């Protein structure tokens, strides 16, 4: 990526702190964050090219408005975004297959498939909005994808 817009998360270990080789050494990072300059971690200040202080929804609305004023059109990127959407759909399909598998012993994706089914039933059939706390290396990483 040439420019990375970081929304709704911090540029932390989950994102390799924005460092090479996971990210291009030339990538520019723009972080939208509610932490003002006094509270930002010092090591991240060096790595981020621009901080946009504020609520992500409001900042994104302002960025969108600025693009519209500049007569920017998403049609210029429609081929690229269409390809991304196709890739995302294929990955969702592959993930759904892993979650629906019935192997023995049960693997992470299968376990999260069962949990996801229960959570979906609670939401849809019983109008319950469960809160899920998920911790641990593989458990957390795979759970984030599945749930």
Domain locations along the chain:
3-72, 90-146
Mean model confidence pLDDT for the chain: 88
User: Would you mind telling me the total number of residues written for the chain in this entry?
Assistant: 147
Tokens of 69: 């004023």
* Predicted TM-score (pTM) of this structure: 0.58
pLDDT given at position 141: 81
pLDDT (average), residues 83-96: 96
Residues 6 or more apart in contact with residue 49 via CB below 8 angstroms: 28, 29, 30
**124: confidence class by pLDDT, cuts 50, 70, 90:** very high
Where is average pLDDT lowest: 13-17, 90-94, 95-99? 13-17
Contact 31, 9 (CB under 8 A): no
Top-confidence residue, 58 or 132: 58
């Amino acid at each position: 990526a040439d420019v990375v817009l970081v929304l709704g998360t911090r540029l932390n270990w989950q994102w390799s702190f924005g460092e090479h080789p996971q990210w291009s050494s030339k990538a520019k990072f723009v972080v939208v964050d509610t932490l003002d300059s006094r509270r930002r971690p010092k090591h991240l200040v060096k790595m981020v090219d621009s901080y946009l202080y504020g609520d992500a929804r409001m900042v994104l609305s302002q960025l969108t408005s600025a693009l519209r004023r500049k007569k920017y059109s998403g049609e210029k990127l429609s081929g690229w975004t269409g390809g991304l959407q196709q890739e995302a759909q294929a990955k969702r399909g592959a993930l759904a297959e892993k979650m629906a598998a019935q192997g023995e012993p049960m693997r992470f994706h299968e376990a999260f498939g069962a949990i996801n089914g229960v959570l979906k039933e609670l939401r849809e059939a019983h109008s319950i909005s469960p809160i899920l706390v998920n911790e641990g290396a593989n458990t957390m990483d795979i759970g984030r994808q599945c749930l």
